[in-house]
Amino acid sequence: MNISEKILAKHAGRDKVAPGEIVTCKLDMVLANDVTAPPSIKEFEKIGKPVFDREKIALIPDHFQPAKDIKSADLAKAVRDFSRKHKLKYYFEAGRVGIEHVILPEMGIVGPGMLTIGADSHTCTYGAVNGFSTGVGTTDLAVGMATGEAWFKVPETIEVRLTGKKAKNITGKDVILTLIGKIGVDGALYKALEFTGDGVKELTMTDRFTISNMAIEAGAKNGVFPFDEVTKEYVEGRVKTPWEPVLPDADAKYSETVEIDLSKLRPVVAFPHLPENTKAVSDIKEPIKIQQVVIGSCTNGRLEDLKIAADVLKGHKVHDDVRAIVIPGSQWVYKEAMRLGYLETFIDAGCVVSTPTCGPCLGGYMGILSAGERCVSTTNRNFLGRMGHVESEVYLASPYVAAVSAIMGEIAEEVK
């Protein structure tokens, strides 16, 4: 079996599972946010049971928080009241909150071999720490909170074999955008992506979080990395609950293999209005002027992401025609970025630095686009109207390309 099959088999109490089988599994963690928890809570109340385990549910209001209006305040209150009623261990709100997919790994709430469902499509992020994690809908989330179980159709798995060494200006964002450009936004529909090969060791944990986070943008059920020394260094002493590393069997079966040579990658951007519309920045012939840059989100709001951007911006100024918004992914990231001088660099360069929030990624607040405006963003989606007006445009990129573009006032990979 491969990694996803092994994790599902164990949690289903089975020796073996095969693609296409329907299995019911015990859950290690159930997750929701301020947008998705309230409707799930309504469904949960209909079941008439207490939560299955107050230490295995995480509710994190991060999408519209701190509350931007009365509706978002009401959403947060519903989550807060439910969490207090059921005495949930993992409830974090303003001042203690971060973006859900940043703080769960950071705080050691998810780890190797764990099975997690979340009422958020980017729950697949935790595959970076060698777990099986995936997004679900309102009803499945409610049932999960009540029973601690969920059903799965065992997915086929695509092997993504990584080889070579990446250049200094190449990040996990370039890897995943290149992959999505190869196979398309439906290229892994209801399949698992499993990353293998010698190139895996070239990737930092931040790279891996970014890659697993955007597995869903290829239609994948999840995106999972094998357990190695990089994973071990990250989770040891961090993950407090029992965890078990998972590696694929030598004869593991995959539906297909996609190869990516990291040494051949160039910085890329995804053009509107799909993540599959990838182009190497160096292949852009005519200047694409921009009005906004966003650096942050559950995809690229970690400390290493901010370091990459700060290293580029240090000693430079954001272009007069550009608004640059930096959003740390958690309070810890914010504090460390402050201690290391990154926030000072951003402010000196002319950036706005926000409290941790999802904010502009989903068109919430903190950077909504007007008609005709273009934004280079380190977020994960550039759908029509995703960040504001339907006549605006979002170009997805790495923190490196985003920072360079902020200085140059156009999409660029080099400060000139």
pLDDT tens track for 108-122: 999 999 999 999 999
Per-residue confidence (pLDDT) for residue 373, from 0 to 100: 96
Per-residue confidence (pLDDT) for residue 2, from 0 to 100: 97
CA distance 115 to 347: 40
Instruction: Name the token pair of 391.
Output: 């006549």
Asked whether the predicted pLDDT for residue 94 surpasses 80, the reply is no
Per-residue confidence (pLDDT) for residue 230, from 0 to 100: 97
Q: Residue 57: which pLDDT band, with cuts at 50, 70 and 90?
A: very high
Are 305 and 295 a contacting pair, CB within 8 Å? yes
pLDDT tens track for 186-223: 999 999 999 999 999 999 999 999 999 999 999 999 99
Q: Residue 50: which pLDDT band, with cuts at 50, 70 and 90?
A: very high
Q: Residue 135: which pLDDT band, with cuts at 50, 70 and 90?
A: very high
Asked whether the predicted pLDDT for residue 37 surpasses 80, the reply is yes
Instruction: Name which CATH class applies to 3-261.
Output: alpha beta
Q: Residue 362: which pLDDT band, with cuts at 50, 70 and 90?
A: confident
Residue whose pair of structure tokens reads 């992914």 in the numeric block: 329
Residue whose pair of structure tokens reads 């207490």 in the numeric block: 50
Per-residue confidence (pLDDT) for residue 203, from 0 to 100: 97
Print the SS3 string covering the chain: CCHHHHHHHHHCCCCCCCCCCEEEEECCEEEEECCCHHHHHHHHHHHCCCCCCCCCEEEECCCCCCCCCHHHHHHHHHHHHHHHHCCCCEECCCCCCCCHHHHHHHCCCCCCCCEEEECCHHHHHHHHHCCEEEECCHHHHHHHHHHCEEEEECCEEEEEEEECCCCCCCCHHHHHHHHHHHHCCCCCCCEEEEEECHHHHHCCHHHHHHHHHHHHHHCCCEEECCCCHHHHHHHCCCCCCCCCCCCCCCCCCCCEEEEEEHHHCCCEEECCCCCCCEEEHHHCCCCCECCEEEEEHHHHCCHHHHHHHHHHHCCCCCCCCCEEEEECCCHHHHHHHHHCCHHHHHHHHCCEECCCCCHHHHCCCCCCECCCCEEEECCCCCCCCCCECCCCEEEECCHHHHHHHHHHCECCCCCC
Asked whether the predicted pLDDT for residue 405 surpasses 80, the reply is yes
Per-residue confidence (pLDDT) for residue 338, from 0 to 100: 97
CA distance 356 to 97: 7
Total length of the chain? 416
Q: Inter-axis angle of helices 342-349 and 331-339, to 10 degrees?
A: 80
Per-residue confidence (pLDDT) for residue 97, from 0 to 100: 81
In the chain, ranges of CATH 3.30.499.10 domains? 3-261, 272-408
Per-residue confidence (pLDDT) for residue 18, from 0 to 100: 97
**Nearest by Cα to 172 from 219, 145, 205:** 205
pLDDT tens track for 282-315: 999 999 999 999 999 999 999 999 999 999 999 9
pLDDT tens track for 243-270: 999 999 999 999 999 999 999 999 999 9
Q: What percent of the chain has pLDDT over 90?
A: 93
Give every CB contact of residue 389 below 8 A, 6+ residues apart in sequence.
Answer: 368, 369, 370, 371, 372, 373
Which CATH superfamily is 272-408 part of?
Aconitase, domain 3 (3.30.499.10)
Per-residue confidence (pLDDT) for residue 364, from 0 to 100: 86
The gap from C-alpha 354 to its chain's centroid, in whole angstroms, comes to 18
Instruction: Name the token pair of 316.
Output: 């430079």
**Peptide bond connecting 245 to the previous residue in cis, omega within 30 degrees of 0:** no
- Tell me the mean pLDDT in the region 324-332: 96
Asked whether the predicted pLDDT for residue 413 surpasses 80, the reply is yes
Per-residue confidence (pLDDT) for residue 344, from 0 to 100: 97
Q: Hey, what amino acid is at 141?
A: L
Per-residue confidence (pLDDT) for residue 339, from 0 to 100: 98
Asked whether the predicted pLDDT for residue 389 surpasses 80, the reply is yes
pLDDT tens track for 221-240: 999 999 999 999 999 999 98
Asked whether the predicted pLDDT for residue 355 surpasses 80, the reply is yes
- Tell me the mean pLDDT in the region 21-38: 96
Q: What percent of the chain has pLDDT over 70?
A: 100
Bridging pattern class, strands 256-261 and 22-26: unpaired
Q: Residue 345: which pLDDT band, with cuts at 50, 70 and 90?
A: very high
Asked whether the predicted pLDDT for residue 401 surpasses 80, the reply is yes
Q: Hey, what amino acid is at 384?
A: L
Per-residue confidence (pLDDT) for residue 112, from 0 to 100: 97
Mean pLDDT, the chain, as a whole number?
95
CA distance 113 to 176: 23
Bridging pattern class, strands 149-153 and 22-26: antiparallel
Are 15 and 5 a contacting pair, CB within 8 Å? no
